[in-house]
Each structure stands twice: as structure tokens, then as C-alpha cells.
Amino acid sequence: MSKFSDIINQDKPVLVDFYADWCGPCKMMAPILKQVKDNLGDRVSIIKIDVDKNQALAAKYQIRGVPTLILFKNGTQLWRQSGVLQKNELINVITSND
């Protein structure tokens, strides 16, 4: 797998989903993220980071609750929100930062 910094340094939006396997709301986000990817295709990269397996990365980005979604472009954090979001909300955030 590529280094995280390489992934978020793309010139297209990269949505990072910090999640945990034991988290109920995180399980709700999975099909929503799939719909977003199906809708936007190659305009966005979506990656999932398990906070239990990547504690250093979660600490670096001060992840206090899951799910936490962070949108990056060219390595810069453009947007961040915790909790479950609906497909249309995510699409609007991504396309407004495209």
C-alpha cells in the first residue's frame, strides 16, 4: 500500500474515512461511501483507515470519534466532520472542493 502522505497528495480530492470495526455508525457509512464513489467515479479517491490498526495516524489527525471523515487535496485538509453523513452532503462537499 502507498504511504498515506502519497495518497493524500493527489491533485484530486481524497476522502479519508477513519473508522473502527466495532463502530455501528461506521458500518452505516460503508454503503453511503460506495454510493458516493459510484456517483463521482474517478473524480475522488476514498480510503478507509482503521483507527485501531493505525493508531499513530489517528493520533496525528486527532481523531477523537469515529467515523471521522477528512477531505484532502494536494496534501491539504479542506474539510472534516465526525459522524454519519448522507450521500448528497458528501457529494456536495467533494464537488465544491474539486
Instruction: Note if 23 is an active site residue.
Output: yes
Instruction: Note if 3 is an active site residue.
Output: no
For 23, counting Cβ atoms within 10 Å of its Cβ (0-12 exposed, 13-18 middle, 19+ buried), the class is middle
56: Cβ contacts below 8 Å, ≥ 6 apart: none
DSSP 34: H
Query: Rounded to whole angstroms, how far apart are CA atoms 56 and 3?
Result: 13
Catalytic residue among 4, 9, 10, 23: 23
Catalytic residue among 8, 15, 16, 26: 26
Residues labelled as active-site residues: 23, 26
